Amino acid sequence: MTSIEQSDQTPPFSAISGALQQALRSWDFLEWLPIGVYVCDLAGAIVLHNKRAVELWGRAPLPGESETAFWLSSHSAVISGPMGGQTLPVTNGPVSDLLTDGRPVRDREYVIQRPNGTRATFLANLDPLFDDKGRVIGGVNCFQDITRRKRVETIRRERERQFRDLLEALPVSVYTTDPEGRLTFYNKAAATMWGQGPDLNDKGWCESWALFLPDGAPMRQANCLMGTGFGDEPAPEIEAQLERPDGTRVPFIAYPTLLRDKAGTPIGAVNMMVDISERKQAEVEQKTLMDELNHRVKNTLATVQSVASQTFRKAQVPFEIRDLFERRIFALSKAHNQLSSTRWTSADLRSLAAEILEPYQDGDGDSPTLRIAIDGPSVDLAPHAALTIAMALNELATNAAKYGALSVPSGQVTLEWKIEQGGDPRLVMDWREAGGPPVVRPQASGFGTRFVERGMAQQLKGSVELDFNPAGLRCRVTIPLAGNGAT
């Protein structure tokens, strides 16, 4: 220990020195501690230190060396504030500062440079020492090496910065919430989409907006899962509308995902919101165009039918031919109506067959006297396949009404289909007639027969088997669904 001079503001030296020495006699256990510990007297001289302190410093203090001189020789800097803050050079020893104001120091970080050139970060906690009369007789500094932890924290902060930079660069809205659904982060795209940048860690995300369902109905807060994810369930996309502060609404699709820690405990949620305003506008424009197109096509078919009717009448074309032509226009019109209802994406085979064959039925749809029985699974046909099959069914029904089972009251027709799996799925349709006049193979193929055989083969890349059995005509059609089914 070094001696200190007596001043007018301190008790006699012998009293302070003796009290400090007496206090330090019971500190032999310091050598057992895994942290660095040293003690300074009132003059700021280092009077006691353990081996761990020397290991952390990289050298032992010289006899009588003051703490301030020792720290300045190691080019020390202090990171002010608990666990980080502003970096400042050390102008005085830590304990010397403590002795100046007499207040303990908690969780102060220091950076020193050892004699070998390496740097270390220490976390220090300092306390004044008192004698039995409550007078300050020195100070103690307990510090530990947190260099590795600071390095890990630096890496983590850098990764977090890179991750946030990545989120900021995304052109879609991204935000995160805590387990209660309160906002913890959002990128610039989100603030632009929302029309404002709400405060973080305040209200829950779902509480910050007026939300609406796609049809415009208000969304109940209890049903808002965009702030906390879906738990253990897979998170499906959510379509909704958000009302900005200026009253405008933004349609969006949300993709919420629950976040968990390593133990599986929910720690929040991340959500990506995609503004679909342009898509919705495009859908409206597309619907308008499709409605206009459908209207014009219907008018065109009606015009063709009217012109043909007038032409046939003036040319004294037999009624049978006029009726045949009008039925073909009718089949095209029914197929067109089916496709129009789905914006020309597909047509259901069952609905299509029911509409095409409805004029050939006896009674209403619930009557047991139906002449044509229809059975088969739901199949979505591509537009070109729907038109071809509609025309083929019309030709088969027309032929049955003129020459086959539907030409007599006792005749019956069965239309069935199924999907055969295998290498490539295939649609297999069976048209079977029974109870009609004996079937005779025609000497020459008419338009209907040629269309059924060639249309299915050429346009749908399928195969057709026509069996002119005297007991009743049978037509078996097999077409691949690849290219003919709706996707």
pLDDT digits (tens, 9 = 90+) for 367-384: 445 789 999 998 888 888
Task: Record the tokens describing residue 464, joined without a space.
Answer: 């057709």
Cα gap 308→327, rounded to integer Å: 12
Neighbours of 121 (CB within 10 A): 20
In this prediction, residue 16 carries a pLDDT of 45
Phi, psi of 469 (to 5 degrees): -70, 135
In this prediction, residue 6 carries a pLDDT of 33
Task: Record the tokens describing residue 199, joined without a space.
Answer: 């405060």
Which segments in the chain show pLDDT lower than 50?
A: 1-16, 363-365, 367-368
CA-wise closest residue to 342 among 402, 382, 372:
382
- Residue 143: exposure state from Cβ atoms within 10 A (0-12, 13-18, ≥19): buried
In this prediction, residue 251 carries a pLDDT of 92
Give this prediction's pTM: 0.48
Cα gap 272→253, rounded to integer Å: 8
In this prediction, residue 364 carries a pLDDT of 47
User: Who's near 306: CB < 8 A, 6+ residues apart?
Assistant: none
Task: Record the tokens describing residue 124, joined without a space.
Answer: 């220090």
* 463-469, strands of its sheet edge to edge: 372-375, 412-420, 426-434, 472-480, 463-469
Amino acid at 167: L
Cα gap 104→96, rounded to integer Å: 12
Helix H or strand E segment including 436 = none
User: Who's near 368: CB < 8 A, 6+ residues apart?
Assistant: none
Cα gap 340→383, rounded to integer Å: 10
* DSSP structural state of residue 204: B
Task: Record the tokens describing residue 351, joined without a space.
Answer: 């609905």
In this prediction, residue 99 carries a pLDDT of 86
In this prediction, residue 391 carries a pLDDT of 84
Q: Which residue has the tokens 């539907």?
A: 406
